[in-house]
Amino acid sequence: MELSLTTRTVAEYTVLEVGGEVDVYTAPRLRERLIELVDAGARDVVVDLERVDFLDSTGLGVLVGALKRLRTAHGTFGLVCAKEPLLKIFRITALDQVFPIFPTVGAATERDGSGPAS
Amino acid sequence: MATVRLSFSPAPVHVRTARLVGVAVARRAGVAEELLDEVRLAIGEACTRAVALHRQYGLTDLVTVEMSDSDSYTVRVIDHGPIEASVGLTKLPPDELADESLTDDALTTGVGFALLAGFVDDLQVRPVEDGSGTEVRMVWPVARR
């Protein structure tokens, strides 16, 4: 399935809903969109992976890149993911220790947005 | 034993095709349904790595994926990059993953290898027998038919 990217705002958070397959071919589009959002001033960014069918190392690299960019900009970055196959990918790569991962968009956007991205 | 061999130009767009074929052959070979996500991811990672190596070294040679089933389902992903490119391929510790100094390429390579090592119990990375290149060999069990 093709990559889909939709942005919406929830309170002070910019939520990027990602759908389809994030791989070596499609990940550059995700990277571009995240850079555009930060360049446009978004500082509290949540990436919702609930509609992602496939995520590879290239996609994970793009997400780490966004985390670093927001950290530099004194923003926050979080992921929404409750799918076990995707969560397993985060565990195996130890990236579950790098990203704040929330089960729902509500949980991701209810937290205190003033903390550092970590 | 049946063999399916797929060769493709080293372009990211074809990695998805390799994943789809790899999973289709795995299913037909009798790999358990619950392993198919892992097969898909591992074949994708091995092909992504091969494509990245070819592009890094300006190689137009085709990347080859060979799938065979006998007592098990064996997938070999063969690149033609210099063997030294595969030396030092290693899993990154978590505290280095978000390190500012780590390049995106190094991060993706390290994470890709972590996924391969994490999802494939029977994994070998070795030089090809003829010429330059590396073979990533992955084996999954099949149900008795």
pLDDT digits (tens, 9 = 90+) for A48-104: 999 999 999 999 999 999 999 999 999 999 999 999 999 999 999 999 999 999 999
Over 70: is that where the pLDDT of A105 sits?
yes
What CATH number does domain B2-141 carry, 3.40.50.720, 3.90.1150.10, 3.30.565.10, 1.20.1730.10?
A: 3.30.565.10
Which of B54, B89, B97 is the best substitution to test chain A (most A C-beta atoms within 10 A)?
A: B97
**Among chain A residues, CA nearest to B13:** A25
Topology annotation, domain A4-105: Transcription Regulator spoIIAA (3.30.750)
pLDDT band at B101 (very low <50, low <70, confident <90, very high): confident
**Could you tell me the two tokens for A70?**
């927001």
Task: Kindly report the three-state secondary structure assignment for every residue of B33-91.
Answer: HHHHHHHHHHHHHHHHHHHHHHHHCCCCCCEEEEEEECCEEEEEEECCCCHHHHCCCCC
Each residue of B45-59: pLDDT tens digit? 999 999 999 999 999
Over 90: is that where the pLDDT of B24 sits?
yes
**Residues within 8 A of B (CB atoms), A 17-76 only:** 21, 23-25, 54, 56-58, 60-61, 64-65, 67-68, 71
Alpha-carbon Rg of chain A, whole angstroms?
13
Sheet of strand A44-55: strand arrangement: A4-10, A13-22, A44-55, A76-80, A101-102
Mean pLDDT of B128-133: 87
Reported residue count of chain A is 118
pLDDT band at B84 (very low <50, low <70, confident <90, very high): confident
**Could you tell me the two tokens for B32?**
């358990």
Residues with Cβ < 8 Å from B92, sequence gap 6 or more?
Answer: A94, B102, B107, B110, B111, B114
| Beta carbons of A95 and B97 less than 8 Å apart | yes
How many Å apart are CA A77 and CA A68, to the nearest integer? 9
Phi, psi of B120 (to 5 degrees): -115, 115
Q: How far is CA A29 from CA A4, A24, B33, B92, in A?
A: 10, 10, 31, 25
Domain ranges of chain B: 2-141
**Could you tell me the two tokens for B52?**
């990245």
Residues on chain A touching B107 (C-beta within 8 angstroms): 61, 64
Dihedral sign for Cα atoms in the order B24, B30, B36, B39: negative
Each residue of A18-32: pLDDT tens digit? 999 999 999 999 999
pLDDT of residue B109: 83
pLDDT of residue B144: 66
Share of chain B above pLDDT 90, in %: 64
User: Which region among A33-37, B61-65, B107-111, B117-121 has the lowest average model confidence (pLDDT)?
Assistant: B107-111
**Could you tell me the two tokens for A79?**
């992921």
**Could you tell me the two tokens for B120?**
């494939």
User: Which region among A78-92, A98-112, B105-119, B125-139 has the lowest average model confidence (pLDDT)?
Assistant: B105-119
Phi, psi of A28 (to 5 degrees): -55, -30
Mean pLDDT of B62-76: 95
Phi, psi of A53 (to 5 degrees): -95, -25
**Regarding predicted confidence, which is higher, A114 or B124?**
B124
